[in-house]
Chains A and B, each alone.
Chain A
Amino acid sequence: MSQPLSSLTPGSRAVVAEILIPPQHRARLLEMGLLVGTPIELIRFAPLGDPVEIKVRGYHLSLRRHEAEQVMVR
C-alpha cells in the first residue's frame, strides 16, 4: 500500500514506490538520487508548512509539498 511522501510524519522512513511527477519535471529529481526503490526519511516541514525536507542517499534535500504529494512511498 503506497501513500504520498507528504503524508509521512517527521522522523519516519519509507521507500519510494512510484513517481507521478510529469516526465518533463522528473529528470532532475531522479538525478538527485530519488528513484523508485530508494529509501528516504522525512526530516521536517518548513516552519510555514512548505517545503518539506527529506534525507535521501545520506544528504538533505528539500521539495515543495506539491511535488512531495506526487512521490508515492511505502
Chain B
Amino acid sequence: MNSSPPAFTAVLTGNPNCGKTALFNALTGLRAKVGNYAGVTVERKEGALLGAAPGHPVTVLDLPGTYSLSPQSLDEQIARDVLFRRVPGVPEPALVIVVADASNLQRNLYYATQVIELGYPTFLALNMVDVARQNGHTVDPAALSRALGVPVFPMVASEGEGVGTLQEAVHRFAAQPGSHRVIPREFNELPEQFGREAQAIEQRLETLFPHRERLAAAEALLLLGDDPVLNSHREIYPEPLVAAVTAARTRLESAGVDWRSAAIEARYARVFAIAQHVTTETLSEGESFSDRLDRLLTHRIWGLVIFVALMALMFQGIFSVAQWPMDALDAGVGWLADRVSTALGPGDLQDLLANGVIKGVGAVIVFLPQICLLFLFIALLEDTGYMARAAFLMDRLMSRVGLHGKSFIPMLSSFACAIPGIMATRTIESPKDRLVTILVAPLMSCSARLPVYTVLIAACIPQTRVLGFLGLPGLTLLGMYLLGIVGALGMAWLFKRTLLRGEPPPLILELPPYKRPVPRVMLRHMWDRAKLFLRRAGTVILGINILLWFLATYPRQPELDTAFDARLLTLVQPSDPAVRTPAEAAARVQAWRAQPDRAALVEAADALNHEQSGERLRGSFAGRLGHAIEPLIRPLGFDWKIGIGLVASFAAREVFVSTMSVVYNVGEVDAGDAAGTASLVEVLQAERRPDGTPVYTLLTGLTLMVFYVFAMQCVSTVAVVRRETNGWKWPLFQLAYMTALAWVLAFLTYQIGRWMAG
C-alpha cells in the first residue's frame, strides 16, 4: 500500500441521514479503514474507490455528516476543517463529492451550495431519488446540474443504482484532473452592504492566507455571519482581522442589516428558487408511509408501549435466543482445553494454556453471541431511523435531568459498549452536556457486564416465576439495567446542577423518514463492533488472564503440596496398599470413578483436592492481594476470593468470570461434563464460608451485581475519555466517583438486605 503513488483523494460530504454511508460503502465495497483524526476521536473513515485502473488509485474520505459549514458540534467542525484544509495529516481534497437527499432537496442544497462555493472540483450525488419519487417529487438532474454548475449523478445508493456512473466519472477525472475547470460560483444575492463588507474581509483573508486564496470568499461570508467562529478560533485568526470583522458587524447592525441571518436568508432564497425550478410535483402532497408509521410509533400511548416493548424484547432476546450458540461455544472451549491438556501432559505449561489462556479467554468469548445480538439490535434501531424517534420520545425525561434527547442515543449505545457511546456524544452541541453524557454513559450496563450478571444470576437467583410467566432471573437482569439507567440519570441531574451548570442550547432534532434496513449493512455494523470486543479478548483480557494465572499459581508452595500428598496417600492406601506414590494414588482415584462402590472415597479425594487448591490460592500472590483488600470489602459481604475477582476486573469487568474460573479452578473440578459457565455456576453454588453457609447467597449476588452496575472497571473507557476530554482530569474524576458510588451502594444493598432478613 505504501509504495503506491500519492493517492488522489475524493472527499465525501453531506447532511446527516442523506445516505452518505450507503454511498461510501457502495463506492469502496465495505473495505473501509477506520481511524481517527489527529488529536480527536472523530472517526476518520477512508477506503479505496473500487474499479481503479492499476497505478491510479483513488482514496475516498468520508467526512462526518454536517448541516452547514458553521459547525455546532465537534463532528461538524472536523468536516469543515478538512474542507478548509486545516487538519494536519489530511491531504487537500482533489475532488469533493457532495451527497444531497433528493427527497429533502432544499435543506440539502443549502449545504451543497456552501460546499460548491469553496471552489473545489465538485460532483453532486443526488441520492434517494426513489424516496423522492414515492413522495411525488421528480428532480431533473440535468436542470439541477445547469443551475449549480457541477455534474449531478442521480442515484439510489442503498441499492447501488447509479453509483457505477459516479464511480467511472471519478476515475476519469482522477486520470486527468486538469480536464475540469471550476468556474467560481455564488449562490446568494446578499444585501448590498453585507456583500461589500464580505468582500473587504475576503481581501484581508487573501493576503493573510495566500495558500488558501480560493477559499477566501466563502470563508469571509462565514466569518461575518457565524457568531462563535471568531471566538473559538483565536489561534487561526489574528487580532486585526477579528477587529475588522467586529467593526463590520457593528456597521451592518447600525444600518439595520442582521448579519447573523442575512447570508442564510439569501442562500435559502436562492436554493428555494433552484429547488422549485428543478422539481416536478407528480402527486399532491399526502401522507407518506413513514408518516403513517410515525403516527403509530410516536403515538401518545402506543408509541410509549412499543418503545418499552422493544426494549423488553431486546433483553429477552439477548437471554433466550443467544443461549444455544453460547452453549455450543462453551462446549467448544471445554473441548479445546481438554485437548491441550492431554497433548501437553501435567505441568506449568499445561496449566497456563488450559486454565489461564483457553478457559480464561474462553469464558469471555462465550458471550460473543449475546453481544452480537445486542449490536445487531442497535444497528437495526439506527439504520431504520427509529433511534431519532427514541430521542424524540425520551427528550422530556432527559430534560428533567437537564439533558437533551440527543444524549439518549449515546446512552442507549452504551448498553452495547461505553466506547462507541462516548464517541457518539460528538454530535451533542453543548460542551457541558457532552461532558455530562460522557461522565454518566459508563453507568449504562454495557455488554461486558452481561457475562458477570449472567453468571451471578445463574448462581444466586432462584428460578422462581413471577406472575406466572416472568422468570425471576430475567427480571433481575432487567432490574440491573434499570438500576444503571436510574443511576446515570441521577448522576446527570446532579452534575448539571453542580459541576456543569448551564442552559443547553435548543434541541434541534431531525426525524428522518423510516428506511428499510439493509441486512448486509446491519450485519456489517454488528461485525465491526463485535470485532472490537474480540480484539479486546485477544489483547487486554488475554494479558490480564496470563498475569492472573501467574498470580494465582505462584509462589509455589512445596510444603503445602507435600502435606496434601501425604493426606491423599493415607486416604487411598487402606483400600489399596499397593499404592506407593501420590501420582499412583491420583491415578487410582481416577480409575475408581467408574466404580459406584468407591463413590464415597472418590468424593473424599475430590474434597481433599478442592481444599488443596483453596489453600494454594490462599498462599499465592493473588490470595495475598485478595486478603489485603478484604478489610475494604468485608462491609459489602465479600470474601477474599471475590476480592481477587474485583482486583482482576479493575481493568476489564468481564474478566471477573474468567478470574472466578481460575480462582475456583473450575477446569479440574469436573472435566468432561458441560464445561465453562455451567460448571462455574455449580462451583460457585457449592462454595462455602468457613462457618458452612453458602458464599453466593441471593444477597451476595445482588450486592456484587450492584457493585458492577456502578463501578468503572474498564481501562479502554478511561483511555477514550482521556482522549475525548483532552486530559486526565475528567477520566480520573469519573473513576473516583464511580468507584465510590459502587462501594456505597453495594454497602447499602448488603446492610439493608441483612437487616431485612433479620
Question: A residues near B, CB below 8 A?
Answer: 21, 23-33, 35-36, 43-44, 46-51, 53, 57-64, 66-67
Contacts and interface: CB of A to CB of B under 8 A. Distances in A.
B299 A29 contact: no
B597 interface: no
A interface, over-half SS: mixed
User: Size class of B's contact patch?
Assistant: 35 or more
B397 interface: yes
Interface in B492-513: 505-513
B68 interface: yes
A60 B70 contact: no
Nearest to B227: A24
Which one of B67, B70, B300, B506 has the greatest number of beta carbons of chain A within 10 Å?
Answer: B506
A-B pairs with lowest CB-CB distance, top 7: A48-B396, A60-B511, A62-B509, A57-B106, A67-B506, A59-B104, A30-B264
B72 A28 contact: yes
B317 interface: no
B261 interface: yes
Given A33-B106, A33-B268, A64-B399, 5 more contacts: A28-B506, A33-B107, A51-B392, A57-B106, A57-B107
Given A32-B67, A47-B303, A51-B507, A64 B395 contact: yes
B105 interface: yes
Given A35-B265, A50-B396, A64-B399, A29 B506 contact: yes
Interface in B281-325: 294, 298-301, 303-304
Contacts, number: 119
Given A46-B396, A47-B393, A66-B506, A53 B511 contact: yes
A47 B299 CA distance: 6
Contact of A51 (B68, B70, B405, B429): B405
A46 B67 contact: no
B593 interface: no
Contacts of B507: 51, 62-64, 67
Nearest to A58: B104
A34 B367 CA distance: 48
B639 interface: no
A61 B506 contact: no
Interface string B105-125: 111001000000000000000
Contact of B227 (A27, A33, A35, A61): A27
Given A30-B264, A60-B510, A25 B505 contact: yes
A46 B395 contact: yes
Contacts of B135: 58
Contact of B395 (A26, A32, A36, A50): A50
Nearest to A38: B268
A62 B265 contact: no
Interface of B: 67-68, 70, 72, 103-107, 110, 135, 137, 225-228, 260-261, 264-265, 268, 294, 298-301, 303-304, 392-393, 395-397, 399, 405, 429, 505-513
Given A59-B107, A61-B511, A53 B70 contact: no
B261 A35 contact: yes
Nearest to B106: A57
Given A47-B304, A49-B396, A35 B268 contact: yes
A17 B377 CA distance: 43
Contacts of B137: 58
B506 A46 contact: no
Contacts of A25: 505-506
Contacts of B67: 28, 31-32
22 contacts: A21-B506, A25-B505, A27-B226, A28-B505, A29-B508, A30-B260, A30-B264, A33-B106, A35-B268, A46-B298, A47-B301, A50-B395, A51-B405, A51-B509, A58-B104, A60-B294, A60-B510, A61-B509, A61-B511, A62-B392, A64-B506, A64-B507
Nearest to B105: A58
A59 B393 CA distance: 18
A28 B392 CA distance: 18
B506 A30 contact: no
A62 to B, nearest CB: 4
B451 to A, nearest CB: 35
A63 to B, nearest CB: 6
B260 A27 contact: yes
A27 B508 CA distance: 11
A39 B392 CA distance: 22
Contact of A46 (B265, B392, B505): B392
A10 B70 CA distance: 32
B70 A32 contact: no
B105 to A, nearest CB: 7
A2 B392 CA distance: 27
B400 to A, nearest CB: 10
B261 A30 contact: yes
A48 to B, nearest CB: 4
